[in-house]
Amino acid sequence: MARRLFIVLIGLALLTGPAAAADRSANAPGLEERVVEHRLANGLTLLLMERHQAPIVAVNLTYKVGGVHEHNGITGVAHLYEHMAFKGSRTIGVTDAAREKPVLDELDRLAEAITAEKARGPAADRTRLAALRTQFAETEAAAAGFVVPAELATLYQRHGGVGLNATTGKDLTRYFLSFPSNRLPLWAAVESDRMANGVLREFYKEKNVVLEERRQRTDNSPNGRLHEAFSSAAFQAHPYGLPVIGWPSDLDGLSKARTEAFFQTYYGPANAVLAIVGDINQKDVIALVEQTFGRIPARPPSPPVLTTEPSSAGERRVEVEYAAEPQILIGFHKPGTGHPDDEIFDVIDSLLSEGRTSRLHKRLVQDKQLATGISAFSNYPGAQYPNLFVLGATPRAPHTAAEVEQAVYEELDRLKKEPVTPRELEKILNQIDAAQVRALRSNSGMASRLGYFQAISGDWRETFTRRDRIAKVSPEDIRRVAAHYFTKSNRVVATLVKPTSPTAPEAKP
Amino acid sequence: MITKRKPLPYIFFILAWVLSVSSVFAQTAPLGDPRTMKFDPVTITVPEVERVVLENGLIVYLLPDRELPLVTVSAMIRTGSIYEPADKVGLAGLTGTVMRTGGTARLAGDQVDDELEFLAANISMGIGGESGSASLDILKKDFPRGLAIFADMLRAPAFEPAKVEQAKRQALEAIRRRPDSPGGITAREFRKLLFGADHPLGRESTADTVSRITRDDLTAFHRQFFAPNSLILGVTGDFEKPAMLDALRKAFGDWPPQPVALPALPPVTASSGPAATRSVNVLRRDISQTHLRIGHLSVKEDDPDYFALALLEDILGGNSFTSRLFRDVRSRQGLAYAVGSRIVPGNAGPGVFMMQALTKGPSTHQALASMLDHMERLRQEPVSPEELQLAKDAFLNSFVFSFADSGLIVGRLMGLEYHGLPKDFLQRFRDSVVRLTREDLLRVARQHLHPDRVIILAVGKDTDFEKPLSTFGRITVLTLKPGG
């Protein structure tokens, strides 16, 4: 199962242009009018689109919670919770929840005692630690006796559910699957149950699974290492600088109580957007959702993210030593969602990196052949809060990261000096319009889009209206934004370099 | 308000398949325990796809779908890297790449890109192991222009020298970067062990083989394999059939057929000889997580046991969350994030059965032992009735997703024809699954799974392993060749 952690990071390059207002574009008539929005009394937002091509339906449940709601000490908690959400509830995934509870409580008590003892460092009592660990292993085995393995997934699979998965990003945590459409009541029962009554069973085992995920994505991946160091260097105050997967020591020490509290704080119905696209009858689905999710009590609003990143006094550069071929990331601080300059960056993103005819691809990959690939991310590592515009490149030997970096700056300088041509802007709009039409090919793609924009900007119509704002971006806007943001002092650069060759071993005396 | 869509104008409903065996009682009662919910079976109507053969042998499948103003043409071409010469491994892939980038008889490569990107159209070309593929995806209004470029690219690619050089340089850089990805190393080394490092299915390109490839090789490879009688097209989207056939005849009709010889694949002897025993292979890398791969050759897609084996494999490690490997190695033991199994049925060559996991160095032995135990258990005792029922229900109730859109329906028919499989293959698959018993699965496990003859590959830091892997067999230490 591929649980993509950095979906927002990867996904946004594609999502920069999901616009093309349907009623304004001849390509997708009436698209906007086909979406129905319904708000439950407890605050949950429901978005529906009927599409009757096949008797199937895609559901996408997006929570406005992610790595941005963490701080050092609890990094990784949003993602770990996402894993835990597959473990069931008070009724699903367990033989006898009442008898399970005291065992789980005892397990937590032992885990916290172990964490406390370990925190004493060199003064830790090793004998006590060993005894605690033995007790812990016995209690964990007892807890496992109550587990009905994978019962939640079994229910979905038995009824033909496909693509069951979830992702955790900086801003959002998203749960999704597709179903034969007549089985929607089953999904509503299970999903509303885990929203209200999730039980964190197999918690400590799952931490090990996440640590393996970290080894796979970050520790043994040159790319993963580079991105982690890059974000950390770019954000020293704002939580966008923390790794979504978590620091290993935080994961190790994370208590179940903290994880449970995190769930209680951020998984309320008002923090959720539920998008359903497919062979449905909207009235029936609204009734179904009212009957299930509607029974979940409202929770207090989750606390806002207060920290803002102070402006960096000067360029930040970071080198990551790893035995691999070079890579480079160049980022510029920029505003987040809702700022008028945001769409201009989307246009610049397309202009520089979308397709073989984009400027950086032409210059670096085709003409000078300094790099084998170039990519841009216009909302890195998240979209909601002030973030980075990032250019990443893979140098082609014998060319170096420094040569690539220089060529990128020359191309950025061109943006500051020469106005872009009308044809380039027209091409970008054509691509956005076509992407809008193609989005409807898949129920899950459409559900994901609607849920994304509702959760990030508070209005699913952004899927359509963003296109019109992009259409208004002028060559002068692009010149102004390039000159304002693409400066040395606003810049963060990370490069992957080979470890300097180890010094010759000293001769033994 | 919502504009209710008219149902798709599928005119020819030829089949209505009833897709559920377990959930036969409809119920609209209030929501209760999801475990006891019953639903109507999922029924689907499958549209008729028209198959036309043009005078020059080109096969066309047509399925109009008027929902969106888009047209998609996909192609399969009888070629593949298995047909490239041993001293020029990489030629097929480069040919596919430069067909797309290197221009046509009428347009330079850069002009093609400029025009397509301005129209927001996508054309892809590629040549894989046992087939070539191409596709055009374009707004209906631009279709005539797109089709003209697409046809030129297939029929008369220009292979501009500069684009050939660029593609070669990119390929060389990719080879240089291979050691950076342990997953890639594992996949390539495992294929070498399975098929043999010199076999067309096992060999890999090197800086040498790529450097040796010239533009003339590309044009010759194209000339050898690209002919209308080697091509299967599938067209879906917003069109009328007669007009589409006219357009295709105009674009491809005057392309003369030619005899295309497809040499037979040499037999695989590397791991399938009668004396084959279990082999344990370790490739040392300085990483904190071991990539484990375990497997052996397996059945072809037309083998009568394939369906049973596929369902058995779902139970072992194919289904996420619910499979034995996921539940045990991941959830119960916490040893891996990525763990599972696959069966890839063979077509030109043999199929492959494999299990894989990524686990930290100090749990390598434990994870490997668990996976082998699970494989062995399938041969020792029948799967439980509940497991079999879940696997069947999951397969049958999700069957509707095989018909989720017209592209899938047409793509499948193309693939079946390409591989010489019957066009009702999926229906046969479904019917077989309905009938499968626990005894059937036990029989195929005993006949087709051989834990005593598996190839084991561990890529990682063997000094971290908690126990030497020699308990599984004699260890061969592999070394990574430069660029390997």
Q: What percent of chain A has pLDDT over 90?
A: 88
Is there a contact between A205 and B333 if contact means CB atoms under 8 Å apart?
Answer: yes
What CATH number has the domain spanning B279-478? Answer: 3.30.830.10
Residue A491 lies in a domain: yes
Residue A307 lies in a domain: no
CATH number, domain of A30, equals 3.30.830.10
DSSP assignment letter at B157 = B
Q: Which of A34, A53, A160 sits opposite B42 (nearest CB)?
A: A160
Q: Which of B177, B321, B393 sits opposite A164 (nearest CB)?
A: B321
Are residues A234 and A123 both part of a single domain? yes
* Residues in B touching A161 (Cβ below 8 Å): 398
Are residues A264 and A390 both part of a single domain? no
Using CA atoms, how far residue B143 sits from A104, B50, B137, B157, in Å, is 62, 20, 9, 20
* Residues in B touching A428 (Cβ below 8 Å): none
> Using CB atoms and an 8 Å cut-off, which of residues 380-419 of chain B contact chain A?
390, 393-394, 396-401, 403-405
Is there a contact between A180 and B400 if contact means CB atoms under 8 Å apart?
Answer: yes
A246 part of contact set with chain B, CB < 8 Å: no
Which pLDDT belongs to residue A464? 86
Residue A213 lies in a domain: yes
Are residues A442 and A324 both part of a single domain? yes
The ranges of chain B with pLDDT < 50 are 1-30
Is there a contact between B321 and A33 if contact means CB atoms under 8 Å apart?
Answer: no
User: Residues B50-72, buried b or exposed e (16+ Cβ, 10 A)?
Assistant: eebebebbbbbbbbbbebbbbbb
Query: Taking 90 as the threshold, does the pLDDT of residue A5 lie above it?
Result: no
> Using CB atoms and an 8 Å cut-off, which of residues 349-388 of chain A contact chain B?
354-357, 366, 369, 372
- What is the model's pTM? 0.92
Are residues A328 and A260 both part of a single domain? no
Is there a contact between B39 and A183 if contact means CB atoms under 8 Å apart?
Answer: yes
User: Could you tell me the residue ranges of all domains in chain B?
Assistant: 13-47, 51-252, 279-478
Strands (E), A322-399: 327-334, 371-380, 387-395
A142 part of contact set with chain B, CB < 8 Å: no
Task: Please write down the HEC assignment for all residues of B394-451.
Answer: HHHHCHHHHHCCHHHHHHHHHHHHHCCCCCCHHHHHHHHHHHCCHHHHHHHHHHHCCH
Which pLDDT belongs to residue B274? 64
* Residue pair A219/A225 in contact by the 8 Å Cβ criterion: yes
Q: Do domains B51-252 and B279-478 have the same CATH topology?
A: yes
Name the closest residue on chain B to residue A284, using Cα atoms. Answer: B28
Q: How far is B425 from chain A (nearest CA, A)?
A: 20
Are residues A197 and A335 both part of a single domain? no
Cα separation, A49 vs A59, whole angstroms: 11
* Residues in A touching B65 (Cβ below 8 Å): 53
Q: How far is B48 from chain A (nearest CA, A)?
A: 15
Residue with tokens 């008002």: A270
Residue A346 lies in a domain: yes
Query: Taking 50 as the threshold, does the pLDDT of residue A2 lie above it?
Result: no
Are residues A259 and A354 both part of a single domain? no
* Residue pair B313/B340 in contact by the 8 Å Cβ criterion: no
Residue A322 lies in a domain: yes
- CATH architecture classification, B51-252: 2-Layer Sandwich (3.30)
B3 part of contact set with chain A, CB < 8 Å: yes
Are residues A369 and A323 both part of a single domain? yes
* Mean pLDDT value across chain A: 91
A293 part of contact set with chain B, CB < 8 Å: no
Name the closest residue on chain A to residue B318, using Cα atoms. Answer: A1
- DSSP per position, A56-101: EEEEEEEES-SGGG--TTSTTHHHHHHHHTTS-BSSSSBS-HHHHH
A325 part of contact set with chain B, CB < 8 Å: yes
In a mutational test of the A interface, the residue from B43, B112, B177 whose CB has the highest number of chain A CBs within 10 Å is B177
Within 10 A of B261 (CB to CB), how many other CB atoms are there? Answer: 7
Helices within B135-214 (DSSP H only): 143-155, 161-176, 182-195, 207-212
* Residue pair B410/B38 in contact by the 8 Å Cβ criterion: no
pLDDT tens column, B16-74: 333 333 333 333 334 789 999 999 988 888 899 999 999 999 999 999 999 899 999 99
Name the closest residue on chain B to residue A32, using Cα atoms. Answer: B2
Are residues A227 and A353 both part of a single domain? no
B276 part of contact set with chain A, CB < 8 Å: no
Are residues A288 and A427 both part of a single domain? no
Tokens at residue A331, please? 């980022």
Which residues have C-beta within 8 Å of that of residue B131, sequence separation ≥ 6?
A: B76, B77, B78, B79, B80, B418
A185 part of contact set with chain B, CB < 8 Å: yes
> Using CB atoms and an 8 Å cut-off, which of residues 441-480 of chain A contact chain B?
441-442
* Residues in B touching A396 (Cβ below 8 Å): 169-170, 173
In a mutational test of the A interface, the residue from B291, B326, B331 whose CB has the highest number of chain A CBs within 10 Å is B331
pLDDT tens column, A243-277: 999 999 999 999 999 999 999 999 999 999 999 99
Are residues A391 and A422 both part of a single domain? yes
Using CA atoms, how far residue B401 sits from A29, A227, A280, A297, B426, in Å, is 27, 36, 16, 35, 12
Is there a contact between B289 and A212 if contact means CB atoms under 8 Å apart?
Answer: yes
Give the pLDDT band (50/70/90) at residue A29. low
Is there a contact between B331 and A219 if contact means CB atoms under 8 Å apart?
Answer: no
Q: How far is B209 from chain A (nearest CA, A)?
A: 18
Q: Which of A55, A91, A282 sits opposite B400 (nearest CB)?
A: A55
Cα separation, A486 vs B247, whole angstroms: 49
B258 part of contact set with chain A, CB < 8 Å: no
Q: Give how many domains chain A has, as a whole number.
A: 2
Are residues A324 and A221 both part of a single domain? no
Query: Taking 80 as the threshold, does the pLDDT of residue A503 lie above it?
Result: no
A99 part of contact set with chain B, CB < 8 Å: no
* Residues in B touching A226 (Cβ below 8 Å): none
Q: Which domain holds residue A198?
A: 7-295
Residue with tokens 């999801």: B34
Provide the ipTM.
0.91
